Structure 1
Amino acid sequence: MLPAGSACGQGPMSAAPLVGYSSSGSEEDEAEAPAAGRSKPVSGVRRCGQNPLLTQRFPVPDSVLSMFSTTEERPEDDRTKHGGRIRTFPHERGNWATHIYIPYEVKEEFLDLLDMLLHRAQAFEPRLVGMEEFHLSLSQSVVLRHHWIVPFVQVLKEHMASFQRFFFTANQVKIYTNQEKTRTFIGLEVSSGHGQFLDLVSAVDRVMEEFDLTTFYQDPSFHVSLAWCVGDARLQLEGQCLRELQEIVDKFEDSEMLLRGLAEQVRCKSGNKFFSVPLK
């Protein structure tokens, strides 16, 4: 969950209060404080009838001290588990990366086209790998606290209630990077249906504002990502590579119909939870 629980930022709780703790504070106070009109007993001398266990202090085992540590361990960000990608925000317990998008259902012929594009692009940037799932984003990745997920999805459903499904076409090859320039993408930009996507984003932005979250980009380029690599690879992929990729798309058999999609639902992914909002 990948768009992730929060370490409290405090160090381990001091062991001193535990070492000095007594099951009955009043008994120890009486033993330490001198009575009125008489001097305090000399250290090390036990008064008659006093239980020696009341004044003897035993060391607290390390296993007990560790039970009261308030430090939370952050999950290790092992890049090898997600292709070397760098998180745009730290993974924290109780925080869930959340993303809203339109799924893009592909046909087998689309995968044939993807293979051709990827093979050509890898001649310019060998690190590229193909996407396994396809979608068009309606939001940035934002962070939701776990207890806000259900009300967030409910508000999203309310804002999507009036929208109808629509067809769109994505057939313009473009090169993208994320804001941090830590990843580069090859995508197909929407050439028809742009207005409907803008309307959806406007509604999603209102949901984000209600929860004080980041809204979508200004002048967004709606697209389907096809392949990606770590780092900023625009220099390698723009220019000659981009022109050759566009030629492959334009010449591919029935590409106009193949690259036509239907927006019939909005999905929200929050951590490992998925929510679907059908359009009318």
Structure 2
Amino acid sequence: MVLVQYSESESESESESDSEPVHASQPPAKRLCTTKPSPTQQSLPLPPLPAAFHDLYASSTRVSVRDDPSLHGGRKRVIPHVEGNWPTHLYLEWYASKTELTLLSDVILQIQQKLLHGSKTELHSLLHSDLGAQLPLHISLSRPVVLRTEQRQPFLEAFQSAMEQSHCAPFDTTADSVDCVSNYEKTRWFYVLRVRSPEHDELNRLLKLSNRALARFGQPPLYEVAVPPSLSPRLGNDSAAKKTRVTKPAEENDYSHCFHVSLAWSLTEPSAAEKEQLATTDLHKLRDLKIGFDCVKVKIGNQIFSNSLA
């Protein structure tokens, strides 16, 4: 390689002439970094994430193919992993604002204080994940049930059709009291915020839609009282139908006192005295809190389908 010497005047003139093209060819991001934003630009808040974004990342990464409670805070899986089975859940989802999260955190703190000194109950908040990410809260419209692979699409279509015919509109509800309820297996206890019945009884209406749709696929209802098979009418010769529990018509029942939002959970049941103390939780700061819903979520496996209310 031959080195060519240039005079200082030549190098200076070339560098000056080249300075503008080099600056112009810089990526836009680099040029923007040198521009100071105006006060108006600095005060603009970030736009909210679209509602569908949360559905894309609602399922956590599976870290084990076996049920290992040590990986989940001691929790035991209610529905085991079986090929061809799809855990299914119907619910109303609520993403609380920062202000609302502060109020709910205060409620959890009160619950912790209501537990008697020396209690073995360890509370786990449902407001945030272990990494500090906000978690959605919900009101259940079904138990955790299981659909077979061939049932997924027919069930989804049946439920969506029922929702369209119901003409159920978006609605709000409000907090009523604090309580403790267990899951059906008595393996976990949830500290919940019970809610009041909305103006047009939308919670009971949506529960009936859910229970009817699930009953068509041999799944148990939520909250309804099941009639023992020996007392149920004849179900024909279908062996699958014979195993299905018959429930009282949903129209006869009002479950307004059952609906709730879970705030925290524990692996141990609180004592009777502690449950009485929960009823004295001060909720006056929540009297103006409106919990709004505009869609019903159907989670089948790790997929979530959002069904808008009319």
Q: TM-score, normalised by structure 2?
A: 0.60
Distance 2:288 2:109 in 1: 23
Match of 1:78 among 68, 90, 113: 68
Match of 1:181 among 178, 182, 186: 186
Is 1:158 aligned to residue 195 of structure 2? no
Could you give the per-residue CA deviations for residues 91-142 of structure 1, whole angstroms, max 9, x where no partner exists?
A: 2122111000011231112211222222232342551011132000111110
Aligned length: 202
What secondary structure is seen at the aligned counterpart in 2 of 1:109?
Answer: helix
CA-CA distance at 1:192 after TM superposition: 2.9
Matches within 5 A, 1:124-273: 124=115, 127-131=122-126, 132-161=135-164, 162-193=167-198, 195-218=201-224, 220=255, 221-235=258-272, 237-243=274-280, 246-247=281-282, 249-250=283-284, 252=285, 255-258=286-289, 260-273=290-303
Runs of at least 5 residues in structure 2 that lack an aligned partner in the other structure: 1-57, 127-134, 225-253
What secondary structure is seen at the aligned counterpart in 1 of 2:291?
Answer: strand
What secondary structure is seen at the aligned counterpart in 2 of 1:213?
Answer: coil
Is 1:277 aligned to residue 283 of structure 2? no
CA-CA distance at 1:266 after TM superposition: 0.4
1:234/1:164 CA distance change after superposition, 3 Å: farther
What secondary structure is seen at the aligned counterpart in 2 of 1:121?
Answer: helix
What secondary structure is seen at the aligned counterpart in 2 of 1:171?
Answer: strand
1:237/1:92 CA distance change after superposition, 3 Å: farther
Task: Please tell me whether the aligned partners of residues 295 and 309 of structure 2 are also in contact (alpha carbons under 8 angstroms).
Answer: yes
Distance 1:76 1:225 in 2: 26
CA-CA distance at 1:148 after TM superposition: 2.0
CA-CA distance at 1:234 after TM superposition: 4.6
CA-CA distance at 1:89 after TM superposition: 3.3
Question: In the alignment, residue 141 of structure 1 is paired with which amino acid?
Answer: P
1:167/1:115 CA distance change after superposition, 3 Å: closer
Distance 2:176 2:301 in 1: 30
1:113/1:237 CA distance change after superposition, 3 Å: farther
Match of 1:114 among 85, 104, 114: 104
Task: Please tell me whether the aligned partners of residues 89 and 144 of structure 2 are also in contact (alpha carbons under 8 angstroms).
Answer: yes
Runs of at least 5 residues in structure 1 that lack an aligned partner in the other structure: 3-73
1:120/1:172 CA distance change after superposition, 3 Å: closer
What secondary structure is seen at the aligned counterpart in 1 of 2:287?
Answer: helix
What secondary structure is seen at the aligned counterpart in 1 of 2:223?
Answer: coil
Distance 1:234 1:263 in 2: 34
1:277/1:234 CA distance change after superposition, 3 Å: farther
1:113/1:214 CA distance change after superposition, 3 Å: same
Q: TM-score, normalised by structure 1?
A: 0.66
Task: Please tell me whether the aligned partners of residues 265 and 279 of structure 1 are also in contact (alpha carbons under 8 angstroms).
Answer: yes
Could you give the per-residue CA deviations for residues 219-252 of structure 1, whole angstroms, max 9, x where no partner exists?
A: 5400111111113225463122441xx21x22x2
Task: Please tell me whether the aligned partners of residues 181 and 231 of structure 1 are also in contact (alpha carbons under 8 angstroms).
Answer: no
Question: In the alignment, residue 103 of structure 2 is paired with which amino acid?
Answer: L
Question: In the alignment, residue 299 of structure 2 is paired with which amino acid?
Answer: K
Percent identical among aligned pairs is: 32
Task: Please tell me whether the aligned partners of residues 178 and 278 of structure 2 are also in contact (alpha carbons under 8 angstroms).
Answer: no
Structure ID, larger Rg: 1
Distance 2:273 2:75 in 1: 19
Is 1:101 aligned to residue 91 of structure 2? yes
Could you give the per-residue CA deviations for residues 165-190 of structure 1, whole angstroms, max 9, x where no partner exists?
A: 22211232111111222111111111
